[in-house]
Amino acid sequence: MKTFPKGGVHPPENKKASGSAIEVLPLPKSVRIHLSQHLGAPAEPIVAKGDMVKAGQLIAKSTGFISANIHSPVSGIVQKIEPAPDSSGYKRPAIFIDVQGDEWMETIDRSPNLIKFPDLNSEEIITRIGRMGIVGLGGATFPSHVKITVPKGKKAEILIINGVECEPYLTSDHRLMLEKGEEILVGTQLLMKALRVNKAVIGIESNKPDAISHLSTLCARYPDIRVETLQVKYPQGGEKQLIKAITGREVPSGRLPIDVGAVVHNVGTAFAVYEAITKNKPLFERIVTVTGKSMERTANYLVRIGTPVTELIEATGGMPEDTGKVINGGPMMGQALPLLDVPVTKGTSGIVLMPVTESNRRTTMNCIRCSRCNSVCAMGLEPYFLMSLGEAKRWDDMEQARVMDCMECGSCSYTCPSGRPLLDYIRLGKNSVNRLIRSRSK
Amino acid sequence: MNTVVITIISLSVIGSLSGFILFLIARKFKVFEDPRIDDVEAVLPGANCGGCGYPGCRGFAENCVKAESLDALFCPVGGNDGMVKIAEALGKVAVTKDPTVAVIRCSGSPDHRTRTTRYDSAATCEIASGLFSGDTACSYGCLGLGDCVVVCTFDAIHMNPVTLLPEVIDEKCTSCGACVKACPKTIVELRKKSKKDRKIFVSCVNQDKGAAAKKACSVACIACKVCVKTCEFDAITIENFLAYIDPVKCTLCRKCVSVCPTDSILEINFPPRKVAEVETVVSEIQAN
Amino acid sequence: MSATNLLTISYSPHQFGSESVQKIMYRVLIAMVPAFAVSLIFFGLGALAVTSIAVVSCMSFEYLINRFMFKAGSTLWNGSAAVTGVLLAFNVPSNLPVWMIIIGSLVAIGIAKMSFGGLGKNPFNPALVGRVFLLISFPVQMTSWPKAIESRFAYLDAATGATPLAILKEGIKNGQPLSDLMKEVPGYAQMFLGNMGGSLGEISALALIIGGLYLILKKVITWHIPGSILATVVMFTGILWMIDPGKYADPLFHLLAGGIMLGAIFMATDMVTSPMTPVGQIIFGAGIGLITCLIRIFGSYPEGVSFAILIMNAFVPLIDKYVKPKRFGEELKNG
């Protein structure tokens, strides 16, 4: 079984919700759509207070190359456009829509029929993906049309579909692969066409044997696509790690996957691409796992973007008494939520409720130089050293020590026997080095 | 006997030879330094706090000597007296600045701002502010993790364990500005020092609309404009739903303090008011 | 939500591994059990007395310093002081007077560890600093080794003899041929089991290797440091032995005699004072092996493991500065 060679950890999987089929969450009373729910420039609203919108209607336009359109997830009336706290608690502009009925744009094909081979060329696919506001659904929310636009002078050779889902607890990609396998494969073909590659590999970790066998069987009819079983190891879902595991190529430091001829997309993205191209449906809903150790029921929901997180928790039987932390995303890279009325965004892959007993950090002790952080770092960095530089605010030295290579997978903090906040300081360093680089280029 | 003589001779030879080599090296690598740099450094406070914007007192001294005039150079720790001494040593003219002192513009103690979450990561404001807006509903207020306390070289800021807010000791504060730079929420401000360290300022930086601010913290500025109307000296302005008292225009008359409905304007180091006085002020305003 | 049940906000990751400093230290203690058992068999009462005094005094000094000088929380139960205590005891003869052990513990904990800021900050292995301090201050007591088995029921009044290495050193100095000397030292099988004179923990290569395998299995240490030390010793002494077998002892003797096993498995692998990268660890181990051999064969001391480790400890920051792990995406060419 293939995997990436250096580093990695194996946290307890806790994938409780892997057996729960995808359910459609009932529509909320109102939704809140933040204008910045993708990487890059925030979108600009094109609706005004009081406007009637339909589900799938464009409500905010992308404002640059790295930016994405936002479509209304529901039909209803725009109540207001004003700053509201996002998942960090800071106020960021958002569009509030009061839900009325469920009327979709007429252009959207709502039939469940599978459409296999739409007759479109590469450019048409890319523009349509851009128009439909599709972003990377693995969590990074990088606008997808940017990723499939191959820069001049470079050539894509292989498309990798990321079905790894190495984060503990989360099962949304797993369910999607089981229930929408054929659609994912058609989406993959469309992405291949857009990239002009003739080879695609779907990487799945061996802890999802049902998904592997399901997709392998389906792949018999798609000779260009192949399923690769990968050894279970975190952070295999990291783009660079996945490319290394599947192709053996190493993306050079500070470069992009396309530099080694690879492009990676999440299975969720492949499904969204299928819907966007064949069904004309913009990205306004996604699969969200709601799970937690002390939750009696766990679920995978098909949720409209903008639905408050509280509704998801209520629908799954409410918050258990002992909840100490609510995480937007998985426990390794997700973000703890200070407020629960924040909405689901395009990047929300799961809501994980952690019991109080597991919510707190461990007490921090001195570094005992055990070198475990070094050995688990998949990027070959020295987290203990970066942290000590960060504490001393030596940003130049941190840049020299390649802090920008860090992908914040959290393996170092996870493994540290002294419970040191390694990643906290590395993040601080990344932000400061980023500022340094920007001020230099001015 | 012979041994003693040989020892003495050989040691003397080695000693004088090394001395001569050192002398040669010292001659060869001698660096010329303006002796006035030492003179200036001698009158500087020697705290190396960086408040002047130069790396350490030596760096500041070098720049003082190099610079044409002392207009752009100021050592906040030495203050005007210190600058006069530097000017004397260099035969230049020093600028004078009003002495300032750091104030903490947040009164959101746990009584006034209820905690909504519990922060549990590396305990510095810089890291916490990168993660989220703070452990209360106020996304502007003090995080209480004490970055300002850590950076203060003069031991002038301390955390109050009850209010969980930093407090400045006026006598120790040299207004070097390190805390201002360290605060990610820009809560610390350097304000003009007045007689007997008396201060009046809006102890809030919340830029939310009144209702939201009041909901987050009971002593927040709600931008009600009562203070603006009360002030006879046009010292108070409101911008982004937040009042600001211009320290230059303010005459420390204290009228704004008594009218503020949320007690977000603080008066510090004033003698206690007589009850009657307060009542007259309030009634005067009501009459107006 | 009630005030006591606020949601916690922290940076990711939100999940942690089960490793802790405490677990690591307790594993080291477990790994030392076989060696301690052997020392009980061969040195009996003395071994028990020395070890318990060393552990108790190391832990008390750690507690007192934390409590009254650092005014910080107790780090007593993370087990590091106990490990230092046992290692110090392992490195001294089993008839060492109580007050010397207490002084050794004070130097180990007070000077070598706590004065640098406690666990993790010390550049030198505390137990070895304690031992070397004792060796230099009290050379006579530190080099009078109780005879194995014979002195089982004695502590201070144990009958003493020489260690194999001391027999060799002394004999060669007096011009005796090596073949005669080798008859005086115990057989290799006896040395492997631990039936020889020496510090109380260093005698049995077998017990130490069992402990070492346990540590490697539990991932407390890696093979790099012990492996490179032992390989260097074998190579260095092997070459000399091949040049003149009549003058130099064979590599197997050097492996079994003295403290090389204890040093390689328990002392040099102390995480705090060894390099972070595998390559660095191999350099570190090779240095220790080399210096040990140089001291043993050409130096004036019969044994040099502790000096070798302390010398290489001083090089750790330098090694860490120049030996970096292989970065992902380092090479621009891709296969």
Mean pLDDT of C113-134: 93
A421 near B CB under 8 A: yes
Looking at the fold, whether A125 and A44 belong to one and the same domain comes out as no
The neighbouring-strand residues paired with B101 are B191
CATH 1.10.15.40, domain B35-90, yes or no: yes
Dist CA B106 CA B148 (whole Å): 13
pLDDT at B275: 65
Contact state of A427 with B117 under an 8 Å Cβ cutoff: no
- Write out pLDDT tens, residues A379-398: 999 999 999 999 999 999 99
pLDDT at A406: 93
Token pair of B226 as six digits: 């009562």
DSSP letter for each residue of A156-212: --EEEEE----SSS--HHHHHHHHSHHHHHHHHHHHHHHHT-S-EEEEEETT-HHHH
- Residue that is last in its domain, among A325, A360, A395: A360
What is B100-287's CATH number, 3.30.70.20, 3.30.720.120, 3.40.140.10, 3.40.50.1820? 3.30.70.20
Mean pLDDT of B174-201: 89
Q: Are A397 and A27 in contact (CB under 8 A)?
A: no
Contact state of A382 with C120 under an 8 Å Cβ cutoff: no
Which helix (H) or strand (E) element contains residue B286?
Answer: helix B275-287
Percent of chain C residues topping a pLDDT of 70: 97
Range of the domain at A395: 372-441
Q: How far is A113 from chain B (nearest CA, A)?
A: 44
Cβ contacts of residue C190 below 8 Å, gap of 6+? C196
pLDDT at B284: 63
Mean pLDDT of C6-29: 91
Neighbouring C-beta atoms of residue B56, cutoff 10 Å: 16
Dist CA A311 CA A314 (whole Å): 5
- For an interface test with B, give the residue of C4, C8, C10 to mutate (most B CBs within 10 A): C10
pLDDT at B160: 92
- Residue that is last in its domain, among C75, C109, C141: C141
Instruction: Answer whether residue A205 shows pLDDT above 80.
Output: yes
Instruction: Answer whether residue A273 shows pLDDT above 90.
Output: yes
More confident residue, A78 or C78: A78
Please tell me whether residue C222 adopts helix, strand or coil conformation: coil
Identify the CATH number of the domain in which residue A311 sits. 3.40.50.11540
A80 near B CB under 8 A: no
Is residue C13 reached through a cis peptide bond, with omega within 30 degrees of 0 on the bond before it?
A: yes
A306 in any annotated domain: yes
Instruction: Answer whether residue A118 shows pLDDT above 90.
Output: no
- For chain B, domain boundaries: 35-90, 100-287
Percent of chain A residues topping a pLDDT of 90: 76
Q: How far is C51 from chain B (nearest CA, A)?
A: 40
Looking at the fold, whether C230 and C266 belong to one and the same domain comes out as yes
A179 in any annotated domain: yes
Looking at the fold, whether C28 and C166 belong to one and the same domain comes out as no
Q: ipTM of this model?
A: 0.89
Mean pLDDT of C291-302: 91
More confident residue, B191 or C158: B191
Mean pLDDT of A217-224: 91
DSSP A41: S
Cα–Cα distances in angstroms (integers) from residue A226 to residues A179, A198, A260, C108, in the given order: 18, 11, 20, 61
Contact state of C325 with A374 under an 8 Å Cβ cutoff: yes
Q: How far is C12 from chain B (nearest CA, A)?
A: 9
Cα–Cα distances in angstroms (integers) from residue A333 to residues A169, A337, A347, B44, C11, in the given order: 12, 13, 12, 50, 8
C237 near A CB under 8 A: no
- Write out pLDDT tens, residues C28-52: 999 999 999 999 999 888 899 999 9
pLDDT at C2: 42
Looking at the fold, whether A387 and A323 belong to one and the same domain comes out as no
C263 in any annotated domain: yes
A216 in any annotated domain: yes
Which helix (H) or strand (E) element contains residue A423?
Answer: helix A422-441
Q: Are A436 and A394 in contact (CB under 8 A)?
A: no
- Write out pLDDT tens, residues A291-327: 999 898 999 999 999 999 999 999 999 898 889 999 9
- Write out pLDDT tens, residues B87-121: 888 888 888 888 889 999 999 898 898 888 889 88
B119 near C CB under 8 A: yes
Looking at the fold, whether A157 and A212 belong to one and the same domain comes out as yes
Q: Work out the pLDDT band at A437, boundaries 50, 70, 90.
A: very high
Looking at the fold, whether A225 and A288 belong to one and the same domain comes out as yes
C235 in any annotated domain: yes
Q: How far is B50 from chain A (nearest CA, A)?
A: 15
Mean pLDDT for all residues in chain C: 90
pLDDT at C63: 93
Instruction: Answer whether residue A168 shows pLDDT above 60.
Output: yes
pLDDT at A258: 92
Range of the domain at C209: 162-322
pLDDT at B279: 65
Identify the CATH number of the domain in which residue A47 sits. 2.40.50
pLDDT at C333: 46
A362 near B CB under 8 A: no
Percent of chain A residues topping a pLDDT of 70: 100
How many domains does chain A fold into? 3
- For an interface test with B, give the residue of A87, A90, A335 to mutate (most B CBs within 10 A): A90
pLDDT at B285: 62
Contact state of C8 with B116 under an 8 Å Cβ cutoff: no
More confident residue, B125 or A442: B125
Looking at the fold, whether A173 and A33 belong to one and the same domain comes out as no
